[in-house]
Each structure stands twice: as structure tokens, then as C-alpha cells.
Amino acid sequence: MNTTPNLTKNQSLVLDVLTRSEAPLSAYTILDKLRDSGFRAPLQVYRALDKLIEMGIAHRLESLNSFVACAHANESCCGHAHGHGHHGTVAFAICESCGQVNEFHDHAIDDRLAGWAKERKFKPSKTTIEIRGLCEACMH
Amino acid sequence: MNTTPNLTKNQSLVLDVLTRSEAPLSAYTILDKLRDSGFRAPLQVYRALDKLIEMGIAHRLESLNSFVACAHANESCCGHAHGHGHHGTVAFAICESCGQVNEFHDHAIDDRLAGWAKERKFKPSKTTIEIRGLCEACMH
DNA sequence: GTTCGTTGTGTTATGCTATAACGTGTGGCA
DNA sequence: TGCCACACGTTATAGCATAACACAACGAAC
Ligand SMILES: [Zn+2]
Ligand SMILES: [Zn+2]
Ligand SMILES: [Zn+2]
Ligand SMILES: [Zn+2]
């Protein structure tokens, strides 16, 4: 099974940097890490990120203006098929001390939001759920 | 206008602009609208916004880098006291066509997120929930 | 194989968002 | 009076994102 469908060179480089990183990275940080690989301009990063996000193998954290590799790229979780280009709504818990990010999803929350939307005839396209706080390791 | 305690002049001006607006406003848009009132620099807007948000009478929309007046400032909803300086986690439905924002909260979602956090000993400080999509009026 | 549209790429310039750093003024209070 | 906390004003700078243009690579259509 091929988990990574035909990434271009730039997309692979960006995904690689994201995957290796413990914490989310800003586009400009990614750029700096890829200068030795030939990257010269922000747009090279943003274009790669756009595609990776579109494919569902990277995510943007709105509250940080940063990006992470998807933690579920090759899983199918809770019996829901989950890779292949896009997955459902996902939530992030972000530690404000160590920067670690935990990606998860919760069908009860999804259902609740979907219910709200249906009642009001609102058609969701993208949902952001981000919890900022302190992880267990960083609490005193 | 504002039943709110002791806002400074700049804070009142910013809140007023937000309240009158149908859609979220960026800090720089607010600045432009307040030039005639003497505003000259972004920081004047950001400082006022910081306080308003801290008081819970304005909100930041992370996915838009924009700001709205709180829709619940003077309500106590679902039997939960709700004004007075800060209220619980709130969600936003944002129409990508007309820009209209609908602020709501859902205790089931709150409970779910709180449960997730408790299980992992994660201590939340601020939670962002934003649904982008199309409102009923804007659907074809 | 040539034509042509699509997609990725490279580069420069620009615009939008947010904060640092420093200084002033005002009101409350010992 | 002296002090402190806090709002305010201003300039400069940092950080995030896209517009606009040009070129190369690829595959499908003819
Ligand atoms: Zn994911
Ligand atoms: Zn941590
Ligand atoms: Zn509110
Ligand atoms: Zn709409």
C-alpha cells in the first residue's frame, strides 16, 4: 500500500520538515530549514503547504499561524476510513509551554456541531477546534 | 449603548465600531474607521482590543485574524450567568460569503472537550471553535 | 510529433497582521 | 510630595501571506 501519493519534490521536503518537528512550525521557519535544500522564497513553502493541507496530510493551526503534519495520515480510526486525501473534523490540544500538539477527533462533538448547523441550514466547509493550555508534563 | 463598566475612551470607540459592524473587522480596518476620532497607530486598536477581549465583551476570530463584539454581553443564557467579565467557551459559525458571524455555545461540546482534557490531565486555558461555511441566506 | 492546457516552480515586490521599545500624562494613595 | 499603576501616543520593526509575472515539465488531443 502506498501511503504517500506522488508528492512533488517541494511538497516532500516540506512534509519531511513537519514530520521531523516536535512542535508546529511557521511557514517562515520551514523556509529557513529548507534554505540548504534550495528554498528561497515564502511562496515555495506556502504552495507546498496548500497542497499538503488539501490532501489532508498536514494541518494549519489557526491560533498559532503554524503548521503540523497530520498525526493520523495512515490510520483509520474508530472504524471510519480516514486517510486517502481527506479526513473529518479534527481537534488540537496545544501546550503553550512546550509547544506539543495532540491531534484527536470526537464524533460526539462532530455530531453536535453538525446538528447545530443542520438546524440553522448552515453548510460547514471547514471547522477549527483548538484548545490552548498546559500539557501534563508542563504543569507544576 | 454600553451597559459595561468604566470603559476608557479608546476602548469605547473600538467597541462601538465593532458593535455597529455586521461582520468581523480586522484591527487595521478598525484603525481606519477611527482615524477621524484621533486614532493614528495600530497599537491603539490592539491595546483596546486586548482589554475588551479580557473583559469578554469582544472576541477574536482566529481563522480570520479579525474581531467581533460579543453577542451575549448582557445575557445569561441556559441558566448560566454569563456576563461580568468572562463567559465560557463559545463557538462561531462564520459565513464565508456574507461574513456574518453567529456566536453560540453548547454545553455538550464543552463537556466533551473538558472530558478529553481531564483524561489526559491537560489544563485548558482558551478554546477556539470556528465553523467556516455558508449561511442559509447565502446558499443557492 | 506538435499543440495546448494544466500544474509545479522560481523570483520580485507588496500588503496585511502584530509587537517592541520608549516616552508622556493622569489619577489614586501613602 | 512622592510614588505607582495604568492608559495613552509615536516610531520602528518583526512576522505572516499573497499578487503578479515568467518559465519548465508533463500529459492528453489532434
Ligand atoms: Zn490529521
Ligand atoms: Zn507541555
Ligand atoms: Zn461572547
Ligand atoms: Zn452568508
Residue spans per domain, chain B: 9-75+84-138
- Chain B nearest-CA residue for A94: B124
Residues of chain B with pLDDT under 70: 1-5, 73-87
pLDDT of residue A123: 97
Three cell numbers written together for B112: 466533551
Looking at chain A, the number of H-run helices and the number of E-run strands are 4, 5
Task: Tell me how close the Cα of A33 comes to any Cα of chain B, in angstroms.
Answer: 26
Amino acid at A109: I
Are A131 and B139 inside 8 Å of each other by CB?
Answer: no
Q: So what's the pLDDT on residue A3?
A: 41
**Using CB atoms within 10 A of its CB, is residue B85 exposed (0-12), middle (13-18) or buried (19+)?**
exposed
Tell how far the Cα of A95 is from the centroid of ligand 2, in angstroms.
5
**Local structure of B74: helix, strand or coil:** coil
Q: Which residues of A touch B60 (CB under 8 A)?
A: none
- The separation, in Å, between residue A25 CA and nucleotide C25 C1' comes to 42
pLDDT in tens, A11-68: 999 999 999 999 999 999 999 999 999 999 999 999 999 999 999 999 999 999 999 9
B65 CA to C15 C1' in angstroms comes to 15
> A66-90: per-residue pLDDT in tens?
999 999 866 655 544 444 445 689 9
Annotated ligand binding at A95? The verdict is: yes
pTM: predicted TM-score of the whole model, two decimal places? 0.91
pLDDT of residue B82: 42
Q: Does A135 belong to an annotated binding site? A: yes
Q: CA nearest B96: which of A121, A125, A24?
A: A125
DSSP codes, A17-81 = HHHH-SS-B-HHHHHHHTGGGT--SHHHHHHHHHHHHHHTSEEEETTTTEEEE-TTTT--BTTB-
Query: Whose C1' is closest to the CA of A42: which nucleotide?
Result: D17
Q: In chain A, what is the straight-line distance between the N-terminal and C-terminal CA atoms, in Å?
A: 44
Rounded to 10 deg, the angle between the A42-55 and A9-20 helix axes is: 80
pLDDT at residue A130 is higher than 60: yes
Distance CA B75, CA B67 (A): 20
Q: What is residue B50's predicted lDDT score, i.e. its pLDDT?
A: 97
Domain A9-75+84-138, architecture per CATH: Orthogonal Bundle (1.10)
Interface A-B: count of C-beta contacts within 8 A: 118
Query: How far apart are alpha carbons A12 and A19 in whole angstroms?
Result: 10
pLDDT of residue A73: 63
List phi, psi (to 5°) of B40: -130, -20
Q: Tell me whether residue A138 is annotated as binding.
A: yes
- Give the distance from CA B111 to its chain's centroid: 21
Q: Which three cell numbers stand for residue B93?
A: 459559525
Q: Which nucleotides of C are covered by protein (CB under 7 A)?
A: 8-13, 16-21
> For residue B133, which residues of chain A lie inside 8 Å, CB to CB?
117, 122-126
Contacts of residue B114 in chain A, CB cutoff 8 Å?
none
Residue B85: predicted pLDDT: 42
